[in-house]
Amino acid sequence: MNFFIKILAIFIIFSTESEVFAQLSLKNIFLENKYLTYGMSGIYMLHNEAAFAQKKTGNSEPSICVYNKNNELESQYKLADFTSENNVNQTKLRFLGLSNTDKYFLFSLDCSQPYRNSTTCTYYLGTKSGKIFPISNASQYFPTFSSKDKYVAYVKGNDLFYKNLETETEVQITKDGEWNKIINGKSDWVYEEEFSLTHVFKWNAQSNKIAYLKFDESNVKSYSMSMYNGANYPSLYTYKYPKVGEENAKVSLWYYDLKKKKNKPIKLTFSYEYLPRIYWNGDEIVAMLLNRHQDTLRLVAYSLSTKKTKLLYEESSSTYIDIPSGVHFLSDKSFFIISEKNGFWHIYHYDKNGNLIQQITNGNYEVNRMYFVNEGTKELYFQSNEGNATETSIYCINYNTLEKKKISTQTGSNDIAFSPTGDFYFQTYSSDSIAPTITLIQTKTNKSINFIDNIVIQDSLRNIPRKTFFKIPTKNDTLNAWIIQPKTSDTITKLPLLIYVYGGPHSQTVVNKWQSSRDLFFNFLAENGIAVACIDNKGTDGRGSTFKKSTYLNLGKLEVEDQTQSANYLGKLPFIDSNRIGIFGWSYGGFMAANCLFASNDIFKVGIAVAPVSDWRFYDNIYTERYMRTPEENPKGYQAYNPIALAKNLIGKFLLIHGTADDNVHFQHSIELVNSLNEANKTYQFYMYPDKNHGIGGAESKFDVYNKIFQFLKENL
């Protein structure tokens, strides 16, 4: 069916409903979390038996409950019955899982986040006999047990420690850690943000050595933010932030020998700028290496027995190489790696010397992640978007014969979480109309047990406007898109349209899955008479490297063209008012929204940019140089789609929002954009959120942000 006819038919059905009402409110979405669904959070697998544990609260006393693979309660440990020597309120402890032998429960208390993705807490261990004790005398990062639970290692301050749990002796491994200078066992800000790397130490299988990374930030330039907090004199928060073209931390690979009580540096015989991953493979420490341009990736193995380094894997690109989502080593020291060297992310099998055994998956689809490898049956479980780039499915493949079978059966978004023993897994499924359902499945028999269904939430939202998924034709391609149409009895008045955009690398916003709070905001807008659409432009994930890497060296150009052409297309729909089209985005999406409004001012009437990048020269070097290289190498790319340079073209209405304590996209971006708008004598609205970070966190703040956006749309769209 022609899309125009299909969308008009849906519009007529909505229009003839006898009763139209609004169900959603900003209060019940953001303040009350009324439609929050239950998921896998708080469920932890046991390591040595087919069982899992959860912290249960509800009407009963908080307890740790252990269930077998049939979801039958096997044991229960009431937190109120635990005893401690330092009067900790054990009922407030957050349960984080079990140790490698399932001997200890791991808990946390009094946590804080220095950066967005790493957490420092006071960590406690609990025994099944009912005792709770702190791991150390100060807050720590990343408590990690050795294989037999004799030791637990952690980072305290900027140094690496371990504790002998049998003798209760703490050993300090490194002693040179210093804030904004030397970090041991923990990544710096930019590795954490751009390589998703936080915890950078690993036990070997014998529990007698720890491999770790050392970051020397001494020569990295600092960035400072004023923190107000209602004080008479604001404090200054200063941390190391390497911007484009600037010097990075010097990262080196080390290991600590517990028997010899010595730290030893490993001299890698290959040059590198970045060291984003480390692994143990038998007696070898494997390091992933990237050059500054991020167009050459290597896996290099250092043997502790021979003291020699060998190349296991090498890949080069004419553009850039993303960090593989999976590298998995087998007992024979061969390994699987996910690579997009043939144009799509696929799984490859290499032997212990780096020789290709065979390509495991192939086709015009993307493998997103590997879950579990059963070496006995030669089965590998993975997730891919085969058949539909907006959906995910689960597959199992025999990595010898390449016989593949599909595990998931429903269309939408599928994910699984395996138990360490491989006896069972949890499968999570959702779609735009089906709330997350979690099923416990036994691997050998395929016996399934309904675990969570969220049916109450699903039923409570059955009358909200829904997404329609479709494709938009452009000059050189078709783009995946969705639209949410208001249910209205008015068949004459044309509707305003808001386009939501992110549009950057490593993103995909047109996905068939259940509503997040942001999605519910779009449903709320539809209930209030504003149609909402979303388009995945060139440069986004899910459709292969040619589509994704087409924006290389020119961030903003093709993305703005795609969004503009899509707005033109949608403006021709019979129920859309082409003179009332707006665009909204956050972070990279803010960069996109500002550029679309400024560069296509005859198409977009309003633009809303939250925490936008306004000039790539102000952003961190790992992210920016991956896609743009440096300003010296690519001056035209940095200037062409630059909101600061284009601000003089503003004609419509512009809303700008930013948190002053944004450690990711600095408040500086909006200040410089405001300066450019002022110099061009432009009128705009600007709201700042003191001491708020990139996500402008907190329920009250989120409510206020989206309320301001809604009021702006009501007044101007």
Q: 44: number of CA atoms within 13 Å, CB side?
A: 22
Q: Is the pLDDT of residue 476 over 80?
A: yes
Q: Is the pLDDT of residue 713 over 50?
A: yes
User: What is the pLDDT confidence band of residue 57, given thresholds at 50, 70 and 90?
Assistant: confident
User: What is the pLDDT confidence band of residue 50, given thresholds at 50, 70 and 90?
Assistant: very high
Cα(128)–Cα(102) distance, integer angstroms: 9
User: What is the pLDDT confidence band of residue 6, given thresholds at 50, 70 and 90?
Assistant: low
Cβ-based neighbour number of residue 374 at 10 Å: 15
The predicted model gives 441-452 an average pLDDT of 95
Average pLDDT, the chain: 94
B/e letters for 574-599, b = 16+ CB within 10 Å, e = fewer, are: ebbbeebbbbbbbbbbbbbbbbbbbb
Cα(624)–Cα(618) distance, integer angstroms: 9
CB 433 within 8 A of CB 466: yes
CB 530 within 8 A of CB 612: no
Type of residue at 305:
S
Which of 110-124, 227-241, 625-639 bottoms out in mean pLDDT, i.e. has the lowest? 110-124
HEC string of 349-365 equals EECCCCCEEEECCCCCC
The predicted model gives 425-453 an average pLDDT of 96
Q: What are phi and psi of 211, to 5 degrees?
A: -90, 140
Cα(145)–Cα(103) distance, integer angstroms: 11
The predicted model gives 616-643 an average pLDDT of 97
User: What is the pLDDT confidence band of residue 2, given thresholds at 50, 70 and 90?
Assistant: low
Joined tokens for residue 69? 């693979």
User: What is the pLDDT confidence band of residue 21, given thresholds at 50, 70 and 90?
Assistant: low
What SS3 state is found at 621?
helix
Predicted local distance difference test score (pLDDT) of residue 86: 75
CB 9 within 8 A of CB 15: no
Name the pTM for this structure: 0.95
Type of residue at 3:
F
The predicted model gives 365-372 an average pLDDT of 98
Residues 6+ apart with CB under 8 A from 54: 42, 43, 44, 64, 65, 67, 95
Joined tokens for residue 243? 């911007």
The predicted model gives 334-342 an average pLDDT of 97
User: What is the pLDDT confidence band of residue 16, given thresholds at 50, 70 and 90?
Assistant: very low
Type of residue at 285:
I
pLDDT tens digits for range 193-220: 999 999 999 999 999 999 999 999 999 9
Q: Which fold does the domain 3-35+461-716 belong to in CATH?
A: Rossmann fold (3.40.50)
Cα(529)–Cα(497) distance, integer angstroms: 9
Predicted local distance difference test score (pLDDT) of residue 666: 98
Q: Is the pLDDT of residue 7 over 60?
A: no
Which of 91-100, 338-347, 396-405, 423-432 bottoms out in mean pLDDT, i.e. has the lowest? 91-100
Q: How far is CA 240 from CA 182, 293, 388, 658, in A?
A: 11, 21, 42, 21
What is the sign of the dihedral through the CA atoms of 630, 636, 637 and 640?
positive
Please tell me which residue, 11 or 188, carries the higher pLDDT value: 188
Predicted local distance difference test score (pLDDT) of residue 354: 97
Predicted local distance difference test score (pLDDT) of residue 355: 98
Cα R_g (the chain), whole angstroms: 27
Predicted local distance difference test score (pLDDT) of residue 113: 85
User: What is the pLDDT confidence band of residue 9, given thresholds at 50, 70 and 90?
Assistant: very low
Can you give the length of the chain in residues?
717
What is the sign of the dihedral through the CA atoms of 477, 483, 489 and 493?
negative
Q: Is the pLDDT of residue 17 over 60?
A: no
Q: How far separated are the first and last CA of the chain, in Å rounded?
A: 31
Cα(252)–Cα(302) distance, integer angstroms: 13
